[in-house]
Amino acid sequence: MSHKLALAFTLFIFVSLAVSAGEGSTGVEVQIGVDREGLPREVTNYEGEIRGLWRDGRLYIGGQPDESALKYLQDQGVSVVVNLRTPVEVDDRERVPFDEAAVIVELGMEYVHIPLGGEEHPYSPEAVARFSDVLKRHDGLVFLHCTVGWRASYMWSAYLISEHGFAVNQGMARGKAMAISDLPIEGLLGQEFELAVVN
């Protein structure tokens, strides 16, 4: 099994587990301002550097921001930044040449770290639950990011599926509109696949 296919399968399991975890939810729906009929829109007129930026309801979703981009997001009204990068990534000053958490706190925003990736930080329903808690505690704008928006798109898709009753394919379509690519097997076979949750 190729690395990409194995990763896609792992993420499918992540979404499936998130759906299972959401089956016992309280039914209290957090207002996220998402148009169920639309898709996230790409934001192109921002300041600073971000490796891809999209807006979906009250969420900005994207890749690693620089300090200027964090200031821009704060100016737009973002009050919380959720970082999905692992500690190894966050602490590597070649990858992130500044202390992101410190800059965010200096700007008066809350920093939340929910690392995803590798055996130490698996894709899990607990990660989705932590992200869900952030949205329950804050009713303003939130910026969710990883390196290029890929993990962030998966997290957003899983959250919508588990907490807001989106069908799996509907949630995944939102991720594909941002940073999730087609599954490798879809390209190899020349056709789209419908994902389904297996209980």
Q: How far apart are CA 192 and CA 73, in angstroms?
A: 35
Picking from 17-21, 108-112, 178-182, which range would have the lowest pLDDT averaged per residue? 17-21
Of 105, 104, 126, 106, nearest to 115 by C-alpha is: 126
- Mean predicted confidence (pLDDT) in 12-27: 48
CB 114 within 8 A of CB 144: no
- Mean predicted confidence (pLDDT) in 106-127: 96
Please write the tens of the pLDDT for every residue from 83-115: 999 999 999 999 899 999 999 999 999 999 999
How far apart are the two ends of the chain, measured CA to CA in Å? 24
CB 14 within 8 A of CB 194: no
Give the residue with greater pLDDT, 174 vs 21.
Answer: 174
Of 172, 173, 185, nearest to 15 by C-alpha is: 172
Quick one: CATH architecture of 3-189?
Alpha-Beta Complex (3.90)
Give the residue with greater pLDDT, 198 vs 17.
Answer: 198
Q: Give the pLDDT confidence score for residue 61 in this predicted structure.
A: 98
- Write the Ramachandran bin of 97: left for phi over 0, alpha for psi from -120 to 50, otherwise beta: alpha
% residues pLDDT > 90 (the chain): 74
pTM for this model (two decimals): 0.85
Give the up-direction half-sphere exposure of residue 40: CA atoms within 13 A in the CB hemisphere. 31
Is residue 155's pLDDT more than 90? yes
Q: How far apart are CA 175 and CA 158, in angstroms?
A: 9
Q: How far apart are CA 131 and CA 125, in angstroms?
A: 10
Q: Is the dihedral of CA 183, 187, 192, 196 positive or negative?
A: negative
The confidence band for 6, taking pLDDT boundaries of 50, 70 and 90, is very low
The confidence band for 5, taking pLDDT boundaries of 50, 70 and 90, is very low
Q: Give the pLDDT confidence score for residue 35 in this predicted structure.
A: 93
Q: Give the pLDDT confidence score for residue 16 in this predicted structure.
A: 52
